[in-house]
Structure 1
Amino acid sequence: MSAPGGAPSPAPRSGSIGPQGGMPMPPQQPMAPNPPVGGGTPGPAAPSNPAMSQQNLNQIVIDYLAKKGYTRTEAMLRMESANQEIDGRPLPQLGEDARPKYRQGFDLLKIWVEDNLDLYKPELRRVLWPLFVHSFLNMISSMWPQDAKPFFEANKNLFLPEHTEDIRALEPISLPEHAQDNVIAKLYRANKYRLILSNPAFSNLMQFLENKSKDGGSVMSAILSSYCTIITKERAADDRFSFAAMLGRAGDAHTFPLEDEGIPGHHPGSAYTGDNPAMTGTLPRLKLGKLPMEPEMETDVRGELAEEDQKHPPAPGQNTLVQEFDQMIKKEEDEDAPTRAEIPYPPSTARDVAMEVQKVKENRDRFRIEGRTGGVGPAVSVCMFTFHNTYDGINCIDFSDDNMLVAAGMQESYIRVWSLDGKKIKPTHEGIDDTPPANSHRLIGHSGPVYAVAFAPSATRTEGALAPTNVRWLLSSSADKTIRLWSLDLWQCTVVYKGHDQPVWDLSWGPFGHYFVSGGHDKTARLWVTDRVRQQRIFAGHDQDVDVVCFHPNSAYVFTGSSDHTVRMWAVTTGNAVRMFTGHTGNITAMACSRNGKILASADDHGSIFLWDLAPGRLLKRMRGHGKGGIWSLSWSVESTVLVSGGADGTVRVWDIAGPAQEPVSTQGRVVGEGGAGTKIDAGNTSAAQTSASVGPGAGKKKGKDVVVTPDQISAFPTKKSPVYKVKFTTMNLIIAGGAYLP
């Protein structure tokens, strides 16, 4: 085969795939060996003109790719070969010869972009940001801080206000060690920055960098090749690159990325809090409204509620259940929401209808919490369940939604489930469970410590022992790398889910059951469907363990908190990261999304709670009051106005979401709040004694260092010596909490 240009094409090695038809080509006949010198072994003949042959070879391949229409492959080859001398040797990157190249190349490109056609300016300006970041980091890693600092100062204003947070994070770096420890620097080094360019703009850029290769163009090409993924689009295929759209943006000086550009999950504009209308669109738009009900199910629920209204008419001044249902639906219709087609669920059953009916009843009859009234916090109360004789063997606790059961995952690889009222657990169906009734059951199957337990969604138990809305299933995850689904009718394991190849730290049910998400030591989170043994999605992107996971209330998104100190939000439908939140200085130990779907609360082992506004992707505020050791559980009130937390310092704390954003006050040896009564549960045997646990205000005293408490804290409930593993707002707005007594 002759290549364009007349030079014979080099034959591939034996067994390689030929360019035509995919068939292997025969190996080339070996050349005559050189005569041995001084008794040495024969070697292959050297090409007569190495410089010419390398140049020809590059040209042959480029011409061939152009002829076949492989424009993107050709462009990538040009970028990578631009970092070579004509004979194939790499250009010098270190030493005095390369020192001015980063600054020189960047300055040349900056001037060229501003002198370019107005049609291409907006998209070419966006190329400057990753080049700026990596030029700076390369200079730092090459130990040229005297060049890096002036370069950074001279150019940082080009990228304000769109990249304010990233610039602020990168500015203190002056040594290679700083870059290795800096979260944002590591983020840019570990992930390729996505750029989307129209074909003409991309071709012009590559030609310019090739022409200026000796003046720093090759260094810019090398950065694009190593740290960027460039996606080219035809003008006709993407409305954003139409002539009308480009001309409309021609005078725009901003460089903010398109919504699908940048590092996946990390959007430099996400922390921007100004009023610049040009900043809209820097983040993917979220659908935070509630998942709509199926029309048939809505009809069934309405019919059931009408029957309930006839049997039990509302009290004077109280809504009928049908009126309450209509108000709930009307409130949800105003928001952008995912559709049932996007998130497939199995057809609704009679149990689903009964649960929705119960939710409407609870919503109408709940204790209402509207935040601070006249500066005084709401008078919420906490019911604390304390486990005794556990010998520090409990790893995790969960309460069922029907307020009937509590489960604890043990260090000794088993799970124990108790009745909350201490009475014997009645069988759900006659003849299924042959064991005599007891107030607890032990579930054995895992071969390692159990790190998470989670009851499937259910509704508060209604009249009669066999109510259809009671909890039926329990999930657990373990150091043995598996997740198990347990039937609470049979008290046996029914499914083992395998996929993680390291211990599984946390799991969470979707709001309607059916789906659940898990996170583990393998740095991934995984989405599962209960009736499939293999995961449906793998959410990969964290640099360290995924320690905590939770669902958005509409089940369209999941949240992951990691030991890399970041929180990410992922779309269930695509598996892509749509938000990333940075700001935690410790490992993230708890997360909860508000019931209205608008705010995420995340907590860390340094005692801070962060509130994130999901739609604009920004930090609302940071709340402090807990001691060191970690906040292990968070839960939201029904109205999403109050947050409750519990943790290692042995306190349950209540927080006002819309509270005053003032300077924190320092309290020494003082915890505001009062004690409460609860139930002691003895984990050493199966009996749960109904005794009152008095909790005195002196129990929460801190010694030594002051405890900083922000004004958002409404009240604090100290225990004696019980770290709080779990807190939960019920659907009636009662707080229940659980912990183990550690003398």
Structure 2
Amino acid sequence: MSNAAPSSAGGAVPGNNFTGSQQPASTSSAAPTTSAAASSSGTASNNQNLNQIVTDYLLKKGYRRTEEIFRQEVKDIDENGKPKENGDGTTSAKSFPAGKYLAAFKHFDVWVQGGLEVYKFELKKFLWPLFIYSYLRLVKQGSSAHAHEFMEELRGRFEKSHPDEVKTLATITLPPHVQDAVIATTYLSNQYSIPLSKSLAATLFSFLEREYDQGGGIIIDLITQHIRVDSVDRGPIEPFSFEAIYRRSRQQDLDEVDVQEGIPGMPGHSGLMNRTLLDEKAMLKLGPIQMESELREDVVAELEEEDKLHPPRDGYRSLVEEFNAMNPVKKEAVDSPSEIPYPPSRARDVVMEMQKTRENRDRFKIDTSNGAQGAGVTIHMWTFHNHLGAISCMDFSKDQNYVAVGTVDSYIRVWSVDGKELKSLIPTDKTRSNNRKLFGHSGPVYSVAFSDAITNLDRNIYEGMPHPESKPDTRPSLLLSCSADGQVRLWSLDVWACICIYKGHDGPVYSVSWSPYGHYFLTGGWDKTVRVWSQDHSTAIRFLVGHDTAISAITWHPNGSYVFSASDEIDKSIRMWAVQDGQCVRIFNGHVEFISALECTPNGKILASADIAGNIILWDIEKGTRIKRCRGHGRGGIWSLSFCVESTVLASAGQDCTVRLWDVEMPPEGRVVNQQDGDNINAAGQGDAKQPGQAQSASGAAGTGKKKGKEVMITPDQISAFPTKKTSVKKVQFTRMNLVLAGGCYQPETQDAGR
């Protein structure tokens, strides 16, 4: 038996090949199966042992960072050396080694930077979402070492365009952070929308497929999960492409798909943000605030007395009728905002409401329904001479008695418009002058603003009555200013001194504005914040945070319940905030240049914004959409906007040395005008200076004049243009009587931006 076994197992018996070969075959088939099972178990065990040996060795040698990276690498590998599956059986998020994300991003970036110049503008839009989604994926899957390396290597190229977001991302280092951070949940729960030309989309995905193993696979996976590519049937979009030139010639702006670019709720994505706000029924209450009942009764009683003493002329309403029309009593004022607390009314408030009613009734009525063929609007222009370029800002008081300027030399100067001396309530102050200087700031003054005022009544309505105010003074009593020194100062125009300093902004404060009803005021600064203050608090009562860059312009809604702010540089967005709770309720996005001025219509329905490229955009506040764009100013900046009482005409003042009037209700269309060829435009005459260093006056109705200049686009909604004699206009203001005040600085060396 022992001799037969080797023969039977080792070879075939002659003549019995089938039987002799069958036994070894059966034995052979069983042996490999057993061997493979043992090998698999041994391999898994060996892999685990080997990993542990390598880890121990690295720790023993002190290579802790290398050990951490190695541990992160093997964490994503199972016992067979394959990528671990997710809970749903997929491996999409973990099918790529963590160390490959940085190389994939760099490889894609090199391809974008080395491509054709005409394609770079659109392809670069992918870099930011790829950066943020790659980093969040690395953190979420626990690859903290690779995430840290990824962030440190690439954050420099995004810190200028997305400083706040990069700073916030860098604090997300552990998987639980991804669940808690708002920026992470916002990006991961939404797809990042990118518009892309059809021809370029094919080129992009062809490259990614070709370079799949060099990182293209990772990019494709990120795009598939987190980025929505909106294919657009158009040529490449970049500032000097044929498509861009064509669109500019047709006065076309962004496509709807361009407006939707980005992530809902994040900067630069106004279209979806507004749509989200509207879907969430963030309804605005744009109606006027209901007047305090006690104040209303006092005003009506006094107006009835006025009507008896001075009956209205034929065709004019009585003062009581005018007041009731201006301040209707509504049982259910659904469009009136929640009441914001104001100090109790005084005798001064009664007199001011009476005068506002009189001026509203007797104002010059502006009617644009006749195609602007009616009487021209009168503009009163003030020119400042011998200022040596020091004037940085300007404001007129609402009673037209004062004008104030801020200077880069850190002081403020106030003039009386009629040349009368400015008196002080301090008995020892014997100064006899028609102007005063206010010192206190330690940097350039960027904005000044008078408190509300109005021309006083001809008689004393409290005469013979035991009232503490024999005749309430309706002149402006306060002046606000802000400066590069980071301070906001409140000045008394009764004693000509600073009575309060408001601190809180980190860096320069660029804009300051009084609330329509006084007591509260608004500031915007370099620190990207907008703040609401009250006179009786030394600290801000509202912090409005959301802009990406410094605040360039601010304004109030006429009912005092909302404020608007614009941001410069990268952001270029306009935000609307509710004062009651500090929430952002609208975002307006469309400017591509520095936004230099904001103004809201008296009826509270339209917002106007202007930029340094000479564009004025009108926005529908309720819908959050653009109405039209007005063009006519040359480059250099539009520094001031103001609406007439009827909200139908807009006045603008610019660096191109013109004041222009616009028909708000005319639909948007355009025509090209070459001003050098003698296009007739309405102009205001300007008087000669009388005294150097003093504000001089000149007024005139619309006339005819010529102005040299380059070919500019003038939309037909421009009613008239008023050129000055090399005077850049810093301030324009409609009065309650629909007279236009304007002021600027004479600069002989100034080259007209529109010439």
Structure 2 length-normalised TM? 0.65
Structure 1 residue 702: Cα displacement: 2.7
Partner of 1:309: 307
Aligned to 1:630: 637
Which secondary structure does the structure 1 equivalent of 2:193 belong to?
A: helix
Deviation at 1:393, TM superposition (A): 1.0
- Alignment partner of 1:363 is 2:360: yes
Report the counterpart of residue 666 of structure 1 in structure 2. 673
CA shift in 2, pair 1:623/1:328, >3 Å: same
Match of 1:558 in 2: 563
Report the identity percentage: 43
Q: 1:674 Cα shift?
A: 2.8
What does 1:24-423 align with in structure 2 at a 5 Å threshold? 90=98, 93=101, 130-131=190-191, 133=193, 144-146=204-206, 193=264, 262-263=265-266, 266-268=269-271, 281=279, 284-330=282-328, 336-341=334-339, 343-374=340-371, 376=373, 378-423=375-420
- The residue that corresponds to 1:525 in the other structure is 530
2:542 maps to what in 1?
537
State the alpha-carbon separation in 2 of the partners of residues 264 and 96 from structure 1.
27
How much has 1:741 moved relative to structure 2? 0.9
**Structure holding more helix per residue:** 2
Partner of 1:606: 613
**Can you list the C-alpha shifts for 1:528-571, whole angstroms capped at 9, x where unaligned?**
11111111222222222211100000111111112132211111
For 2:379 and 2:585, the matched residues in 1 are separated by 36
Instruction: List gaps (5 residues or longer) in structure 2.
Output: 1-54, 77-85, 109-129, 134-185, 210-216, 239-253, 461-470, 749-755
Select which of 504, 512, 529 maps to 2:509: 504
Q: Does 1:735 align with 2:740?
A: yes
Retained in 1: the 8 A contact 2:288–2:337? no
1:617 and 1:555 map into 2 onto residues whose CA distance is 19
CA contact (8 A) 2:732 2:742 kept: yes
Shift of 1:679: 7.9
1:617 aligned onto 2:624: yes
Going from structure 1 to structure 2, the CA distance change for 1:321 and 1:674 (only over 3 Å counts) comes to: same
Whole-angstrom CA distance in 2 between matches of 1:607 and 1:352: 39
Aligned residue identity for 2:620: D
- Looking at structure 2, the residues matched to 320 and 283 of structure 1 have their Cα atoms a distance apart, in angstroms, of 41
In our comparison, the structure showing a higher alpha carbon Rg is 2
Could you tell me which residue of structure 1 aligns to residue 23 of structure 2?
Answer: none
Partner of 1:457: 452
Query: For the Cα contact (< 8 Å) 2:606–2:620, is it kept in 1?
Result: yes
| Cα distance in structure 2, aligned partners of 1:711 and 1:681 | 37
Correspondence for 1:714: 719
SS at match of 1:626: coil
SS of aligned partner of 2:190: helix
The CA deviation at 1:358 is: 1.3
Tell me which moved more, 289-298 or 348-357. 348-357
Q: Aligned-pair distance for 1:479?
A: 0.9
CA spacing shift, 1:355–1:82, aligned 2, 3 Å? farther
* 2:707 is aligned with 1:701: yes
CA contact (8 A) 1:727 1:736 kept: yes
Greater CA deviation, 628-637 or 302-311? Answer: 302-311
What's the CA shift for 1:522? 1.8
Q: Cα deviations across residues 158-201 of structure 1 (Å, max 9, x unaligned)?
A: xxxxx99x987999689xxxxxxx99999999x975xxxxxxxx
- The 8 Å contact of residues 376 and 701 in structure 2, kept in 1 or not, is answered as no
The one-letter code of the counterpart of 1:398 is: D
**Secondary structure at 1:268's aligned position in 2?**
helix
Corresponding residue for residue 434 of structure 2: 439
Contact 1:625/1:710, CA 8 A, preserved across alignment: yes
Determine if contact 2:196/2:231 at 8 Å carries over to the other structure.
no
What is the rounded CA distance, in whole Å, between the counterparts of 2:401 and 2:305 in structure 1? 27
**Letter of the aligned partner of 1:318 in structure 2?**
Y
SS at match of 1:133: strand
CA distance in 2, matches of 1:170, 1:335: 48
**Contact 1:554/1:597 (CA < 8 Å) preserved in 2?**
yes
CA distance in 2: counterparts of 1:374 and 1:664, whole angstroms: 17
Aligned with residue 493 of structure 1, among 491, 498, 506? 498
Tell me the alpha carbon deviations over residues 654-681 of structure 1, each in whole angstroms, 9 at most, x when there is no partner: 1111124333232322351132355848
RMSD, matched Cα: 4.8
Give 1:735 deviation, angstroms.
0.4
Q: Match for 1:439: what amino acid?
A: N
Q: Are 1:612 and 1:618, in contact at CA under 8 Å, matched by a contact in 2?
A: yes
Contact 1:288-1:335 within 8 A present in 2 as well: no
| Equivalent in the alignment of 2:3 | none
Task: State the partner residue of 1:647.
Answer: 654
Q: Which amino acid aligns with 1:287?
A: K
> Are positions 1:595 and 2:590 aligned together?
no
TM-fit CA distance, 1:85: 5.1
Equivalent residue, structure 2, for 1:243: none
Q: Is the 8 A contact 1:524 1:540 kept in 2?
A: yes
1:18 is aligned to none
CA distance in 2, matches of 1:674, 1:633: 18
Code of the residue aligned with 1:133 in structure 2: it is: S
Q: Distance in 2 between matches of 1:326 and 1:423?
A: 37
The answer on whether the counterparts of 1:382 and 1:676 sit within 8 Å (CA) in structure 2 is: no
Q: Which moved more, 1:447-456 or 1:665-674?
A: 665-674
Aligned to 1:253: none
Q: Is the contact between residue 193 and residue 263 of structure 2 (CA under 8 Å) also seen in structure 1?
A: no
Letter aligned with residue 409 of structure 1: G
> Partner amino acid for 2:745?
A
Residue by residue, what CA displacement relative to the aligned partner does 1:677-719 show, whole Å, maximum 9, x if unpaired? 55848573xx666788999965x6233x312211001111111
Query: Is the 8 Å Cα contact of residues 656 and 728 (structure 2) preserved in structure 1?
Result: yes
The alignment's TM-score, normalised by the length of structure 1, stands at 0.66
> How many aligned positions are there?
567
1:549 to 544, 554, 559: 554
Q: Is the 8 A contact 1:403 1:420 kept in 2?
A: yes
Contact kept? 1:372, 1:656, Cα under 8 Å: no
